[in-house]
Chain A
Amino acid sequence: MTTTAVTKTPQQHTDDLLLVANDRDRDAFSRLFDHYMPLLRAFTLSAHPGSAILADEVAQEVMIKVWRKAHTYKPEFASASTWIFTLARNARIDYLRKNSRHQSDIDPEYLWSEIPAEDGDPFQAALQKRSADVVQAGMSQLPDDQRLALKKVYLEGKTHKEVAEELQLPLGTVKSRVRLALKKLAVSIKR
């Protein structure tokens, strides 16, 4: 860590986000900035190594969204980090659409929502909270190869096909690593 001297708990970030939402508290926003700005930059740099200027631009854009959209954040559904991750992911999707990869006439605006979706109810919120806890507990127990596959998908923004090519593994192997990892994180699928 280079900018945050004191490690904060997830609850403190959530409290700060609520202060921003309810009181437009700039000190709270400043604390969020110090914590999330390096994470947001690292997120862009994972997908675009060496693109420091792009990383600054995207991180700046997401932080301004945090300020403006804080009133839509619902703490009963997601931690501050989960909510800010969805903003970062959506910014990445927008960027990719404007630049090569996703070039498309499809507007991503209605394809990805932030948590919660508008129909979220208290039961759903309880489920979300529980699954987030399970994910958090399970993540540190994952074998390195499974964790690496997840990191490439989530942080570097690669599809399973691209991960397989990069690691020179059969596509089936990458898929099964991701599936095993998700199974351990209690992401079960109905077939």
Chain B
Amino acid sequence: MLNHHPMPEVLADYASGSLSLSHALCVAAHLEHCAHCRQMSDTLVHVGAQLFESQSLQLHGDSIDEGLKQKVFSMLDDETLQLDSAPVSISDQPASKPTSNGKAYKVPRCLSQFIKGSFDSLEWVRVSPSIKIATLCRDKDGSQVALSRVQPGGKMPHHAHTGDELTLVLEGSFSDVDGIYRKGDFILRNSGDRHKPVVTKDAECICLMVLDAPIQFTGFFTRWLNPILRHNHAFG
């Protein structure tokens, strides 16, 4: 049972399509784990459909050109336009190879565009003895999408950030002063939050992280990490 879900207005932005793609990636990964939010997100689509259906057409006041209708009908016969192929189903995704601890991790469907095969196939950059980071992409709006992989019991570096930070637990679990976060949990932190997450001792923890603005590690010990992360992101 998951305890941490996206707020309703985040799901509404997702259902309406206005959510940025990097945030939508985290929501989509959560939905793969959470039937409750899937249900909610479908209901939110009904809300949109209802608004769509009740649009005031007088507002735009023009009728549909008959020529446009004929054009669409002529395109129906166009054999060169192939039927859309069915989307890849979850079961078509190759399961990743067992890792050293013998577990086969499954890469979420929404991440399959970045991860061909297993998490191990990514270019992991070690940023501390217990932490590795793999950048998936960096968007033009400055947001960064990365995976973090922390050893059992490892401390996440103490960091502050200037924008929103989304975390989706893909494997394992971690905890901070507010509670424990397990596989599938969705965590949204606003700028200014300072938290000290620690991975639980039973297993390593892999998280999807979306940072709206580059994180700034704080504190004497982790200050040196900044240039490495920037380098890593810049070429992600």
What is the interface of chain A, defined by CB distance below 8 A to chain B?
1-3, 10, 26, 29-30, 33-34, 37-39, 41-43, 45-46, 52, 56, 60, 63-65, 67-69, 72, 78-79, 81-82, 84-86, 88-90, 92-93, 96-97, 102-113, 115-118, 124, 127-128, 131-132, 135-136, 139, 150-151, 153-155, 157-160, 162, 175, 178-179, 182, 185-191
Contacts and interface: CB of A to CB of B under 8 A. Distances in A.
A103 B141 contact: yes
Contact of A154 (B36, B48, B65, B140): B48
Residue among A30, A39, A157, A182 facing the most chain B CB atoms (10 A cut-off): A182
A186 B47 CA distance: 11
B177 interface: no
Given A85-B52, A90-B17, A3 B139 contact: no
Given A86-B45, A89-B48, A42 B59 contact: yes
A32 to B, nearest CB: 11
Across chains A and B, which 3 residue pairs bring their CB atoms closest together, nearest first? A85-B49, A82-B49, A106-B21
A139 B110 contact: no
Contacts of B40: 187-189
Contacts of A45: 60
B95 to A, nearest CB: 17
A128 B113 contact: no
B8 A182 contact: yes
Given A2-B57, A182-B47, A102 B20 contact: yes
Nearest to A92: B17
B76 A110 contact: no
A112 to B, nearest CB: 7
B78 to A, nearest CB: 9
Contacts of A188: 40
Given A81-B52, A151-B51, A187-B43, A64 B17 contact: no
A81 B53 contact: yes
24 contacts: A2-B61, A2-B64, A33-B69, A42-B60, A64-B76, A78-B45, A78-B46, A82-B46, A89-B48, A90-B17, A107-B113, A110-B109, A111-B24, A112-B28, A115-B42, A116-B42, A117-B38, A124-B39, A128-B43, A136-B46, A150-B51, A159-B20, A189-B40, A191-B5
B42 A131 contact: yes
B101 interface: no
A185 B51 contact: no
A39 B55 contact: yes
A56 B69 CA distance: 10
B25 interface: yes
Interface stretch (B82-90, B119-127, B153-161, B193-201): B82-90
Given A64-B76, A89-B17, A106-B22, A115 B45 contact: yes
Contacts of A115: 42, 45
A95 to B, nearest CB: 10
Given A2-B57, A2-B62, A182-B47, A67 B76 contact: yes
Contact of B18 (A33, A153, A190): A153
A153 B57 CA distance: 18
B16 interface: yes
B50 interface: yes
Nearest to B10: A160
Nearest to A133: B46
A160 B13 contact: yes
A132 B50 CA distance: 9
Contacts of A105: 137-139
Contact of A159 (B13, B68, B89): B13
B75 interface: yes
